[in-house]
Chains A and B, each alone.
Chain A
């Protein structure tokens, strides 16, 4: 059935063409799709775990787009049919924390990684996944560490200014941010959130 224009070959072509047209337009897949696809997927691909991981991360990054961390949290809470108070009660955090986080007004300096882990777990997450990039961006803003040596800096505080904005404004032009230290702080924070999530997942399965 693989060579030559025999009668059986043309019958195969005709059958496949009919199947192609039968299943091309509709949303109903062909029968036994699960078995066929599972076997296809199981066959060795020759790819290393790292390759899989890199490709998976790239696809996730494309999917996350420019969404903010707070938006992701709010959307998930809404589709779960929870209001802020209910979610706060589940996660054992203050409703204002949830509210500020959703609005983008929260300061990660003030939200412990364990608390954030609890909150994400209450939203049904067992890992950071797609939320990692937006959370990292947020943490890079909020957990910025400035180089030492400027001595004491005095400044006036205005109302409705977020703490991380105040720090940035006060220290801007006086001391430079320490990018390496900031990166380490962000990594530590994210690791703690991940660890908390894993801890909660494994404690639930026990």
Chain B
């Protein structure tokens, strides 16, 4: 059963959803945002929350949603029934479903874990697949895409597993649970995807950059164990440095902060950082590059001033 609401972004069928404490633009559909699809974008839904102008939010199956739209379609003349079409698949789930499951997840309920995976797998997998592809691309794509998809699936499983294990430390005031899971998965990127890329690159053509030198920032390429005393001193100075990083980021312009967060997610390379910024901020690569330069300059200036 497929349904497609081809509204022009101004119709009265906008979903209102929350990610963390923030109200999201109601006309940007995503697995976390239950809003009506934007014009021209092929979106199918199993169930969609249709919000009336008075923000009365209703759960609807595709058929019910279609009927509702048909019934109200001529309201303001902005979303007519003739524009409801059948198209490709996408899953839209209630953005705040995870909030209801959080206490159950914290109590270790397996059914709640299943519900979370069922609802947010596509969201987490898509983001991690994108990061894995960027990483592969940076190193001249030594792995074919089907392998990257498999690795991203493995990474997604790991991300959910880590998230379930660390669920007690999750702070819902800092981020949404699905984003936090992606972040957990990103931390395992080097142990799964980068490792395989590295292995494949060893057998690849000459001219591939030495990945052991270009690994993630902070990664110990040699694998040698550090001296415990040095390690203690290093940790102390790192803790101070970490606090400074957080303070500086918090005081920066939102666009600069977002650019740096996107670059951080797209690490380890500058080029994939630009790609991630370009994707996440919807700008050209040139504009993303420019924004990143300004953000880095701002960060370095504040770092020097602290």
Contact = CB atoms under 8 A, between A and B. Distances in A.
A30 interface: yes
B170 A27 contact: yes
Interface in B213-268: 216-218, 238, 241-242, 245-246, 249-250, 254, 257-258, 260-265, 267-268
A103 B289 CA distance: 61
A79 B264 CA distance: 38
A18 B264 CA distance: 10
Contact of B270 (A13, A20, A35): A13
Contact of B126 (A16, A41, A59): A41
A49 B118 contact: no
A40 B111 contact: no
Interface stretch (B8-16, B73-81, B200-208, B275-283): B275-283
A2 B270 CA distance: 6
Interface string B94-107: 00000010011001
Contacts of A12: 263, 270, 273, 292, 296
A61 to B, nearest CB: 10
Contact of B175 (A20, A33, A62): A33
A29 B174 contact: yes
A79 B107 contact: yes
B265 to A, nearest CB: 6
Interface residues of B, number: 101
A146 B263 CA distance: 62
B109 A76 contact: yes
Contacts of B176: 34
Nearest to A126: B115
B271 interface: yes
B298 to A, nearest CB: 10
B175 A59 contact: no
B211 interface: no
A79 B110 CA distance: 10
A70 to B, nearest CB: 12
Contacts of A124: 100, 104
Interface stretch (A50-58, A90-98, A155-163, A179-187): A50-58
A67 B110 contact: yes
A16 B59 contact: no
Given A16-B268, A56-B122, A79-B104, A38 B179 contact: yes
Contacts of B34: none
A8 B111 contact: no
A13 B245 CA distance: 14
Contacts of A150: none
A130 interface: yes
Interface string A13-25: 1111111111111
B51 interface: no
Contacts of B84: none
Given A20-B218, A38-B33, A130-B111, A62 B265 contact: no
Interface in B274-301: 274, 276, 279-282, 289, 292-293, 296-297, 299-300
A62 B107 CA distance: 20
A132 to B, nearest CB: 9
Contacts of A151: none
Interface in B160-183: 160, 166, 169-171, 174-176, 178-180, 182-183
Given A17-B217, A41-B31, A64-B110, A36 B265 contact: yes
Q: Which 10 A-B pairs have the closest CB atoms?
A: A130-B114, A205-B59, A49-B89, A17-B217, A79-B107, A22-B245, A39-B280, A22-B242, A27-B169, A20-B217
Given A27-B171, A40-B182, A40-B265, 6 more contacts: A15-B300, A20-B267, A40-B131, A45-B126, A63-B110, A63-B117
26 contacts: A11-B296, A12-B273, A27-B166, A28-B174, A28-B246, A31-B261, A32-B257, A33-B179, A33-B261, A36-B261, A36-B265, A37-B182, A38-B24, A38-B32, A40-B279, A40-B280, A43-B130, A47-B129, A49-B89, A59-B153, A60-B118, A63-B110, A201-B47, A202-B59, A204-B59, A205-B59
Interface of A: 1-2, 8-9, 11-43, 45, 47-49, 51-52, 55-56, 58-60, 62-64, 67, 72, 75-76, 79-80, 123-125, 127, 129-131, 198, 201-202, 204-205
